[in-house]
């Protein structure tokens, strides 16, 4: 059903079953920050990952519809249902 994930795509999706900041994803992956950032952008484009921001008023993470790809550290990330299915080879 889904295309085969690269090793780094698999590592990133493995790290974001729950909402995680960029630095936490980096600590879980074997690639340098610029590669992780580029692959994360590709996964967002494929709709395998969503970028989220912490809403102070609501005290929870909300999906960020305005996403600044030059500032990956400003967001947290979460695998989507499609991303989890791809990660699990379904």
Q: Write the pLDDT tens digit of every residue in 10-50.
A: 999 999 999 999 999 999 999 999 999 999 999 999 999 99
CB atoms within 10 A of CB 73: 11
Cα separation, 18 vs 34, whole angstroms: 22
What separation in angstroms does the CA of 36 have from each of 5, 32, 60, 62?
A: 14, 6, 25, 22
User: Which of 23-27, 66-70, 85-89 ranks highest by mean pLDDT?
Assistant: 23-27
Enumerate residues 6+ apart whose C-beta is below 8 A from 11: 28, 29, 30, 31
φ and ψ at 52, to 5 degrees?
Answer: -135, 155
Please state, rounded to an integer, the average pLDDT across all residues of the chain: 90
**Which residue from 25, 53, 30, 28 is spatially nearest to 40, judged by alpha carbons?**
25
Report, at the CATH architecture level, how domain 7-87 is classified: Orthogonal Bundle (1.10)
């Amino acid at each position: 059903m889904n295309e085969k994930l690269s090793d780094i795509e698999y590592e990133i999706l493995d790290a974001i079953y729950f909402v995680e900041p960029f630095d936490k994803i980096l600590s879980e992956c074997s690639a340098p920050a610029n590669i992780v950032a580029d692959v994360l952008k590709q996964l967002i484009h494929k709709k395998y990952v969503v970028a989220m921001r912490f809403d102070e008023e609501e005290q929870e993470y909300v999906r960020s519809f305005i996403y600044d790809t030059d500032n990956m550290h400003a967001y947290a990330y979460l695998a989507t249902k499609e991303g989890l299915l791809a990660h699990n080879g379904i």
